[in-house]
Structure 1
Amino acid sequence: MGILDASVGLVEERFGERLGTQVRLIERWLAGEGLSDETGVLVLRKGNGDEIRVVVRLFRPGSVARHEVEPERLHRLLVALAKTGIPVPDPLWFDRSDELFGHAYSVVRWMPGTAVVPWSPDGRRFLATVGTGPVGERFCEVLADIHAVDWRACGLDFLGEPPGGEFAKIKVDDLEEYLRRVRFEPEPILADGIGWLRANAPCSDRVTLLHGDYRTGNMLFDGSRISAVIDWEFAALGDPGYDLGWVCAPSNRMGSDLACMLLPEKTFLERYEHHSGVPVDMATLRFWITYHQVRHAVMWLEAGRSFQQGGTDDLRLARMYYTMPTMRRMVADLLEYP
């Protein structure tokens, strides 16, 4: 069952209870189906004639990297961030019950803007165009603002005990276990990558809020502005280099000369340093770029395993596994294989 399958009467009843007024379901559609979850828009009409648009996200158990995602924690994070200047959707409620949509779900207020597919031809053209203007600058500024959030004052302690200098080592340990769990057969290149990561793990005592998946595909663009940063499911506390490395990782540009297909890497790093006031350590950046490339490849393995075992019938996950030779090659290039 999904967003389009739920009973109209039950949706009206449950949403009316949450909103404190009778509502009628006027329209609903899927806003997109990511590799993690199903997302849809519901248009509701209140008794006084006013309409409200909300975005519903279903949390499906067979999704990629589901072991890293706690849906209720994601809702609590948005509640906390809504009190800051970070552009995030306004969270309304979270429901762990599967009665309505067949899965646990969260509801946020609809925001204007469009999510682009960065690797599509239209997405590439749009991002390359806006990256030279205010959007490119804002992209760097928002990431610096995320890293500057006073997470203690915001009550984000529930994200876990700050790992301090052990953050990189912990992430490598987790990645090694992740690979062991999802691989079909020995993966010597990825294992070599993990060995390199273990030998080069930086010890950074700086702890900030991390988005965890900061990229152009996780933003809403309203004309020439970023209206919202979405998809916070991998948020954590740790070394800000984690986010910087993902922005610059090869698989986040897919052959483009532009970081996140938006702006040159050098420009991104310079503008981030300007807004954050913190210099970027290039050795640490290289570590996190390599980490994300290995992790991305392991996620592709999990996609193939999920499809094979019947956790999903999404053909995109099967296609992801088909591209594993390319993912291994990207890791090998970072390790400077001949």
Structure 2
Amino acid sequence: MYVDKTRQIALNEIVKDVFGNDARIIKIKRLGGIGNENYKVDVLTKRGTITLSLKIFLGSLHEARRKATKEEYFIRRLSEVGLNVPNILYYDPEGRRLGRPILIKRWISGIPVNKALEKDYDNKDVIVDVYARELATLHRVVPKPSDFMVIKEIRTPAEYIVRQFKIIEILSKIVKFDMSKVINALRKDMPCSGDITFLHGDYAPENVLVNTSYDTIYFIDLESIELGVNEDDVAYAFHMLRFIESINKRLKGVAEDFIESYEKHYGKTLKNLEYFKVLSAAKLYVVLKYLMKTGRLIRERKTWLLIYPFLYMFFFRRVMKYLKEYITNINFTM
């Protein structure tokens, strides 16, 4: 799917509904994304140019509606508790206007955390600290009954972990990579305690924005939110920062600094973090292999691949090697 002429006409009508009859689209730019389509849209209004974020939800219609409903709900939910999220301007979960569920938000002019780290080494400690602080803030939000209408309720760490095992097992069969040894080891050492919190689900540095003064984080993609053990979210972010370290030696140590900052802001020591580092690495490994097998990872970056094919494959192979080593050299410190 893409914004063709027919959909541009429909989108222009939506813009008029939101900003008035004189408003019109002057530019649409396709952005990245694997599971959905994302666009940056410039709109000319009486008050000047306004930039919007358009997300078109893909997948089966049922899946797309579920993702749209979930993201819209949690943007409003996290706004209620003071977290920084985009303002919703238009929401069509049924896809009546563009043929697919869509969400239009006001554009946030921030810097992806990974870009901020790469450009401003001198302030990397400050950037990592605010990145960790906001994740800890999310993890302290207390779930309420209405949340369970859009996400599955998880009552115990074991329930959450077993659910992750099922995901890993399903994907490992599809990509034909034996994860039985890893899962058996994880089952044997499964922690019996842990905090059940909201999880961002995809707290990679490129998925959150920081402002230019490095004191505010913006959550821009919330469709992956679920309930689970907070240490899994932390472990995922840790691995993502390690990937950045692997290609930029000046950022060496930011992953460990992130853990230290998170524990400071969350107010607790992460006793089972080593366990969740392995669990997260195992899931990430089979997810990436699945995306490569199905071609989704390449399709979403096909333009970039044409320019930097060897660099891309070099980076991807390094990531996969790192993850594989992590899950094949299991050594929990519980």
TM class, shorter-chain normalised? Answer: 0.7 to 0.9
* 1:195 alignment partner AA: N
Residue ranges of structure 1 left out of the alignment (5+ in a row): none
* 2:204 alignment partner AA: R
Alpha-carbon shift at residue 71 of structure 1 (Å): 2.5
Alpha-carbon shift at residue 147 of structure 1 (Å): 0.7
Number of aligned residue pairs: 316
1:117-156 superposed matches below 5 A: 118=114, 125-126=118-119, 128-133=121-126, 135-152=127-144, 155-156=146-147
Structure 1 CA distance, aligned partners of 2:277 and 2:120? 21
**SS, match of residue 94 in structure 1:** strand
Query: Retained in 2: the 8 A contact 1:8–1:25?
Result: no
Q: How far does the alpha carbon of each residue in 1:94-142 deviate from its partner, in whole angstroms, 9 at most, with x for none?
A: 32345654532211111121336x4xxx665226443222x22211211
**SS, match of residue 171 in structure 1:** helix
Structure 1 CA distance, aligned partners of 2:26 and 2:265? 42
Query: Retained in 2: the 8 A contact 1:209–1:235?
Result: yes
**SS, match of residue 93 in structure 1:** strand
> Are residues 1:57 and 2:55 paired?
yes
Q: How far does the alpha carbon of each residue in 1:218-273 deviate from its partner, in whole angstroms, 9 at most, with x for none?
A: 11233132441222222111211111111222x542272799x5853443222222
* 1:22 alignment partner AA: N
Larger helix percent? 2
> Are residues 1:212 and 2:201 paired?
yes
In the superposition, the TM-score normalised over structure 1's length comes to: 0.79
Q: How far does the alpha carbon of each residue in 1:281-328 deviate from its partner, in whole angstroms, 9 at most, with x for none?
A: 1xx2112111121111111222133229xx957548997799568625
User: 2:12 maps to what in 1?
Assistant: 12
User: 1:93 maps to what in 2?
Assistant: 90
Alpha-carbon shift at residue 10 of structure 1 (Å): 2.1
In the superposition, the TM-score normalised over structure 2's length comes to: 0.80
Match of 2:228 among 235, 238, 245: 238
User: Residue 238 and residue 8 in structure 1: after superposition, are their counterparts in 2 closer, same or farther (change >3 A)?
Assistant: closer
**SS, match of residue 33 in structure 1:** coil
**SS, match of residue 245 in structure 1:** helix
Structure 1 CA distance, aligned partners of 2:263 and 2:188? 27
User: 1:302 maps to what in 2?
Assistant: 290
Structure 1 CA distance, aligned partners of 2:152 and 2:55? 24
Structure 2 CA distance, aligned partners of 1:223 and 1:140? 17
Identity %: 18
User: Residue 98 and residue 321 in structure 1: after superposition, are their counterparts in 2 closer, same or farther (change >3 A)?
Assistant: farther
Structure 1 CA distance, aligned partners of 2:143 and 2:277? 25
> Are residues 1:157 and 2:156 paired?
no
User: 1:291 maps to what in 2?
Assistant: 279
User: Residue 49 and residue 37 in structure 1: after superposition, are their counterparts in 2 closer, same or farther (change >3 A)?
Assistant: same
Structure 2 CA distance, aligned partners of 1:20 and 1:264? 43
User: Residue 195 and residue 206 in structure 1: after superposition, are their counterparts in 2 closer, same or farther (change >3 A)?
Assistant: same
Report the more deviating stretch, 209-218 or 22-31: 22-31
Query: Retained in 1: the 8 A contact 2:285–2:323?
Result: no
> Are residues 1:112 and 2:112 paired?
no
